[in-house]
Amino acid sequence: MAADQRQLHLGAFLQGVGHHLAAWRHPDVDPRNALRFDHFKQLARTAERGKFDAIFFADSLGVPEAPPALLARGLLPSYLEPLTKLAVVAGVTERIGLISTVSTTYLPPFHLARKFASLDVLSGGRTGWNLVTSGTEWEAHNFNLETQVPHAERYSYAREYVDIVKGLWDGWGDDALRFDKEAGVVFDPDKLHVLNHQSERFRVRGPLVSERPPQGYPVIVQAGSSADGQALAAATAEVVFTAQQTLEDARGFYSGLKAQLAQHGRAEDSLKIMPGVLPIIGRTEQEAKDKYEQLQSLIDPVLGVGLLNAFLGNIDLSKYPLDGPVPDFPLTEGWQSRQKLFVDLARRENLTLRQLYQRVSGARGHRIVLGTAETVADQLEDWFVNGAADGFNILPPTLPQGLNDFVELVVPVLQGRGLFRTEYRGHTLREHLGLARPRNQFE
Amino acid sequence: MAADQRQLHLGAFLQGVGHHLAAWRHPDVDPRNALRFDHFKQLARTAERGKFDAIFFADSLGVPEAPPALLARGLLPSYLEPLTKLAVVAGVTERIGLISTVSTTYLPPFHLARKFASLDVLSGGRTGWNLVTSGTEWEAHNFNLETQVPHAERYSYAREYVDIVKGLWDGWGDDALRFDKEAGVVFDPDKLHVLNHQSERFRVRGPLVSERPPQGYPVIVQAGSSADGQALAAATAEVVFTAQQTLEDARGFYSGLKAQLAQHGRAEDSLKIMPGVLPIIGRTEQEAKDKYEQLQSLIDPVLGVGLLNAFLGNIDLSKYPLDGPVPDFPLTEGWQSRQKLFVDLARRENLTLRQLYQRVSGARGHRIVLGTAETVADQLEDWFVNGAADGFNILPPTLPQGLNDFVELVVPVLQGRGLFRTEYRGHTLREHLGLARPRNQFE
């Protein structure tokens, strides 16, 4: 292995007690952990022991407006506010990066900028912001709106929003603070930069009430893969989480997005693409398969069919037998591409209704890599060396078990192949990811 | 000492490297601590060792629009976002309460409710929310406004805001979560309570995406002492921080506010009044006086006069000699009561201009208690037993030194007199303060 061998990056996507829809029902899992500090503390420390680049929390700004009886069968009330969760964990970790989702749609940019700036200061430069826009009616209803902001408008706001946030992060020069006791001067007044952003949508004077974040800007992460989402990512993102299922799709996405960077004057390695992967790890292939089957068997049919109904545009599937073929049904005005995807999948693989909802809902649409530590590492390496990924966002099916397995079994294999660090070299998330520290736009 | 002796409550108001305006210039103080996690971690642990009810962080949503050269002489960039700071500290403490200021003026209530709910879950019920409204132009300019929301309107919004936040905290029944793996039921669907608040100002559906906070509601704290502020406090607050200077004023405030509780059907002990106190502690009276004089001598004349100018309505005082008498000047349209207060003080005590700004700016308007541990305890006991306070919010002049002194020297004296706990009895902030856990309004 060469000293300068390209290495992959790893994120630990920590979701309640696991990503699998039925994780909470697994006999080894304590679902109450989703609400315990000790759980997240141990997860973060495990990921840090495994030298992951970062942990990552997702978010949702509301409870879906579905029948409570359906929600009750699978909605884990685990969306504690992710930046709060991240801050609590920051205090008990040393090196690992800390990435949280925060939507631009319902939070004033001044609040967002200072929250990340503050956590970046307190964590010694370890934060990343997963920029999302909120795309559901039920979230809009919690924020004074009858109906959500249209897709294109959300993305145009988001673009402006990022500029404002960066302008606020640049509000203090990097060496503004002097703390000269003798002269009685706390900071250099020439290094206080008032943003004074003025548009129809946003009027934000600035600056923040604290110094520039140690990383300059917290790392900017995105996960949108629509055309609007990719355009925003090409302009602003430094890490992109994706959800392709096949090497071919992933390579297409990877090269397509990287090709868009040049028009923003950006180098290819200034953006890291990290597909999501749900690993099922066994000591043997058979053990891994058994683990997966056990989880799949725990998916509640009512919930599985309910989710499939939702994906397919609220078609009533309850009259069809679960173990019969997937019926024909008309396309609705909803998610036509999704409908077609699922029906094609069912036809191609000759799936029953039960098999279809299990395929769709178990891993919530993410790539599953299943096998021993060696074969799981093979599957990751395959994508990494074949132009499909700069690393992976690992979605443990159960927590803490799935993360423990990955750190104890797969990480050493990747390290042995020279594909992954054996020790942190830097201290900030930017350093872990090999991303440059941005210059201050005012200097 | 009787077993049921009434005991006082203590908050540790932690502000950067200390409350005294010149704290950062003190030779023993490292001003860069204001931006270090380890500093706040040690402070919180010291306060916990001292069995304080809670630590407390203030906030400001912007940099004052004053000349940068003046700001540079005294503005400590220490307003890291306080809830983030509190969350980081939550992970490294066990029992102490965690109170943070958050303004209702520029943050959607859904965000506020879930942040406190999340931190209450993760900290095991230790949070308190210091409700403020934002009252400066420079904060308004960071949130899309040309000019701030008028005082009365801010308070009427705040009243509605508290109702919404409580409604969101009640969105889940106390025992809603079942996690019944066998039946596949996460929660009891009958215990999901949709708020559906609809007014001209706020439309918030709810519920939150997490369980009811362990305390039911995080403890509600306030510090406003205007008539609007007192009315809001009488209706909603459980702790009030105040800033009276004399026993007489403090008794008046105490009995006046407690008298307003009955009209809301509240008992007197459902609201704890805790005046702010800046303690200067020496091994002898003389040592305490010397400490105070040293701090006072470090106040920058430019800053001191600048602050006095601001208090007095931007009268130009720079042409008058610092060690001469306070000049006569006309009342302006600004803070007339404040002008009169300061001029009367200067006349009564025959103060020079320098002495006046030192009196006004050093402790930023809070009561100073100066002396040995015994005489400082005497002064606290005096207010506590004479109907002026249920406890005190302690403002250490320097940090960590001022807090260390209080915990090591004064707390044992208070404990020896039976006035303060020697060990935590409860686990939540409500339990520390002797406040009841609120019922769920939907049940």
How close A303 gets to chain B, by Cα (Å)? 9
- Judged against a pLDDT cut of 60, whether residue A348 lies above it is answered with yes
Residues A85, A57: contact at Cβ < 8 Å?
Answer: yes
- Searching chain B, which residue's CA lies closest to the CA of residue A182? B25
On the question of pLDDT at A24 being above 90, the answer is yes
* pLDDT given at position B332: 61
**What is the C-alpha to C-alpha distance for residues B76 and A210, in angstroms, rounded to an integer?**
8
Q: How far apart are the first and last CA of chain B?
A: 41
- Are the Cβ atoms of B142 and A41 closer than 8 angstroms? no
Give the mean model confidence (pLDDT) for residues A151-168. Answer: 93
Q: What is the CA radius of gyration of chain B?
A: 23
**Cα(A341)–Cα(A350) distance, rounded to whole angstroms?**
14
Give the rounded distance of the alpha carbon of B276 from its chain centre: 8
Instruction: Calculate the average pLDDT of chain B.
Output: 92
User: Can you give the pLDDT at residue A303?
Assistant: 85
Q: How far apart are CA A124 and CA A114, in angstroms?
A: 15
Cα separation values, A260 from A242, A253, A275, A434, Å: 16, 11, 18, 20
**Mind listing the pLDDT tens digit for each residue in B135-176?**
888 899 999 998 888 888 888 899 999 999 999 999 999 999
Calculate how close chain B gets to A199, using CA atoms only, in Å: 9
pLDDT band for position A435 (cuts 50, 70, 90): very high
pLDDT value at residue B413: 98
Query: Is A136 one of the annotated binding-site residues?
Result: no
pLDDT surpasses 80 at B307: no
ipTM of the complex: 0.94
Looking at beta carbons, which residues of chain B come within 8 Å of A139? none
pLDDT category of residue A307 using cuts at 50, 70 and 90:
confident
Q: Could you give the domains of chain B?
A: 9-283+368-433 (3.20.20.30), 300-361 (no CATH)
Q: What is the pLDDT of residue B309?
A: 78
Closest chain A residue to B191 measured between Cα atoms? A68
* pLDDT score of A80: 93
pLDDT at res. B336: 60
List of chain A residues whose C-beta atoms are within 8 Å of the C-beta of residue B173: none
* Amino acid at the residue B43: L
The answer to whether A123 is annotated as binding is no
State whether B210 and A145 contact (CB < 8 Å): no
Closest-CA distance of chain A to residue B233, Å: 26
Residue corresponding to tokens 């579905």: A66
Q: Report the chain B residue with the minimal C-alpha distance to residue A36.
A: B122
Q: What is the pLDDT of residue A337?
A: 59
User: pLDDT digit string (tens) for B202-224?
Assistant: 999 999 999 999 999 999 999 87
Residue A306 has pLDDT above 90, yes or no: no
In chain A, % of residues over pLDDT 90: 73
Q: Which residues of A touch B40 (CB under 8 A)?
A: 122
B302 to chain A: nearest residue by CA? A184
- Inspect the interface and report whether the beta carbons of B203 and A41 lie closer than 8 Å: no
Q: What is the pLDDT of residue B348?
A: 83
Q: Within a 10 A sphere around the Cβ of A52, how many other Cβ atoms? A: 28
Going by pLDDT thresholds of 50, 70 and 90, the confidence category of residue A338 is: low
Q: Is the pLDDT of residue B121 over 70?
A: yes
pLDDT one-digit tens code per residue, B50-98? 999 999 999 999 998 888 888 899 865 578 999 999 999 999 999 999 9
Q: Which of A22-26, A205-209, A227-231 has the lowest mean pLDDT?
A: A227-231
What type of residue is B382? D
Residues of B in contact with A90 (CB under 8 A): 37, 88, 91
* pLDDT above 50: residue A1: no
Q: Which of A161-165, A368-372, B97-101, B361-365 has the lowest mean pLDDT?
A: B361-365
Question: Mind listing the pLDDT tens digit for each residue in A69-112?
Answer: 888 998 655 789 999 999 999 999 999 999 999 999 999 999 99
Question: How far away is chain A from the Cα of B44, in angstroms, using its nearest Cα?
Answer: 12
Q: Do A187 and B118 touch (CB under 8 A)?
A: no
Task: Tell whether residue B155 is among the known ligand binding residues.
Answer: yes
Q: How many CA atoms lie within 13 A of B297 on its CB side?
A: 9
Q: How many beta-carbon pairs below 8 A join chains A and B?
A: 252
Interface test with A, best of B43, B80, B208 (most A CBs within 10 A): B80
- Written as one string, the DSSP assignment of A266-277 is --GGGSEEEEEE
Tell whether A84 is in a known binding site. Answer: no
Nearest to A225 by CA among A264, A273, A265: A273
* Whole-angstrom distance, CA of residue B103 vs CA of residue B154: 10
Q: Per the CB < 8 Å rule, is B189 touching A71?
A: yes
Using a CB-CB distance cutoff of 8 angstroms, which residues of chain B are in contact with residue A300?
184
In the prediction, which pLDDT does B359 show? 79
- Mean pLDDT along residues A347-372: 85
Report the percentage of chain B scoring pLDDT > 90.
Answer: 73
Mean predicted confidence (pLDDT) in B345-368: 82
Question: Chain A: nearest CA to B29, how far in angstroms?
Answer: 10
What pLDDT score does B325 carry? Answer: 87
What is the rounded average pLDDT of the residues B27-47? 96
Put simply, the answer to whether A181 touches B81 (Cβ < 8 Å) is: no
Per the annotation, does B225 bind a ligand?
yes
What's the mean per-residue pLDDT of chain A?
92
Dihedral (Cα; A209, A129, A387, A9), 10-degree rounding: 90
CA–CA separation, A40 vs A47, rounded Å?
10
Give the per-residue pLDDT at B314.
Answer: 65
Put simply, the answer to whether B118 touches A80 (Cβ < 8 Å) is: yes
Candidates A87, A141, A303; nearest CB to B88: A87
Higher pLDDT: A144 or A331? It is: A144
Q: Which of B33, B75, B81 to mutate: most A Cβ within 10 Å?
A: B81
Please report the pLDDT score of residue A335 as a whole number.
Answer: 54
Say if residue A225 carries a ligand binding annotation.
yes
Chain A residues within an 8 Å CB radius of B206: 63, 142
State yes or no: pLDDT of A208 exceeds 50.
Answer: yes
What is the mean pLDDT of the segment spanning B241-251? 91
Residue of A nearest to B30 (CA): A179
**Residue-level pLDDT at B1:** 44
Question: Residue B177 — very low, low, confident or very high, per pLDDT cuts 50/70/90?
Answer: very high
Q: A133-137: long-range contacts at Cβ-Cβ below 8 A with a sequence spacing of 24 or more? A: A133/A103, A133/A104, A133/A105, A133/A157, A133/A158, A133/A224, A134/A61, A134/A103, A134/A105, A134/A106, A136/A62, A136/A64, A137/A65
CA distance A263 to chain B (A): 32
pLDDT, residue A336, reads 59
